[in-house]
Amino acid sequence: MKKIGIVGGIGWQSTVDYYSDLCHRAEQQSLAPNSRRAPSTPEMSIESLDIQKAISYLGSDDDEASWAKFDEYHRMALLRLAVSGADFALLASNTPHHRFATIVRGVGIPVIDLYAVIAEHCARIDPGRVLVLGTAFTMKSQRLRNAFARFGVDAAAPQGVAEQEVVQLIADLHVNRLADAAERIARIARISFAQSAAPQTVCLACTELLLAYPQYRRTASFNVDGVRYTNASALHMNAAFDLAMQ
């Protein structure tokens, strides 16, 4: 298997999920009835960043220069992974993909673009209109909208009070306040879907949001109470494992 590089720490719980999931997939493949592979796990290097430092480096979309520290902080982590011998890398967080093109500039190994992975998957499942839930930067990201548009998928974010509720929910999940998280997500979806009769899919585009659905953390798409959800992190890990096995 190819060696995987992970930029993690933002937050650390999701980094643990990335590591354990990739190992679990390799283990399950070696245990498959028709497998001739000896049990093995992929080699990995992890660059765990300081979440508070990363947050302090967040910029403003109307000021390109304001992103310089954020971009460089993540880019240097990717460069260290390349030096460690990683064959490719992934950023185990959704928000840095808003700045993907700048962050990966000059990095000598492939880096999996999460936004492209999400959009391509949604195009395959005929999602109707996609409701994107994530950090404020992810929900407003024109780069993410463009990725969906390239595959002919209509995507939008919650507005007004619902948008503020998503941001508060992510903050609560980050400090392990998990009570009623799934119910809060369902309420946000109901508010956002209220004026549309068309099919809808909720894209969980923040690693913390999966803490509300621990039973589905390895599932790319799932249904709860009639609502279809797409798990961005599971899609990202699918893409990483597939690439590692090539």
Residue 236: what pLDDT? Answer: 95
Tell me, yes or no, whether 153 and 190 share the same domain: yes
The tally of domains found in the chain comes to 2
Confidence band of 61 (pLDDT split at 50, 70, 90): very high
- Burial code of 68-89, b = ≥16 C-beta within 10 A, e = fewer? eebbebbbebbbebbeeebbbb
Tell me, yes or no, whether 47 and 152 share the same domain: no
- Supply the DSSP string of 153-176, one letter for each residue: --EE---THHHHHHHHHHHHHHTT
Tell me, yes or no, whether 106 and 138 share the same domain: no
Tell me, yes or no, whether 9 and 63 share the same domain: yes
For 144-184, write each residue's pLDDT tens digit: 999 999 989 989 899 888 899 999 999 898 888 888 999 99
Domain hosting 185: range is 115-233
- Burial code of 128-163, b = ≥16 C-beta within 10 A, e = fewer? bebbbbbbebbbebeebbebbeeeebebebbeeebb
Domain of residue 26, CATH code: 3.40.50.1860
Residue 33, amino acid: P
Tell me, yes or no, whether 150 and 199 share the same domain: yes
Residue 57: what pLDDT? Answer: 97
Residue 10: what pLDDT? Answer: 85
pLDDT at 197 over 90: no
For 18-29, write each residue's pLDDT tens digit: 999 999 988 887
Residues 75/107, Cβ–Cβ less than 8 Å: yes
Residue 16, amino acid: V
Beta bridge partners of 45: 5
Please state the pTM of the whole predicted model.
0.89
Tell me, yes or no, whether 124 and 170 share the same domain: yes
The stretch 191-206 carries a mean pLDDT of: 80
Tell me, yes or no, whether 120 and 205 share the same domain: yes
Q: For residue 241, give every residue at least 6 positions away whose Cβ sits within 8 Å of its Cβ, in sequence order, or none.
A: 22, 25, 26, 42
Tell me, yes or no, whether 82 and 183 share the same domain: no
Tell me, yes or no, whether 73 and 128 share the same domain: no
Cα gap 228→232, rounded to integer Å: 13
The stretch 130-142 carries a mean pLDDT of: 93
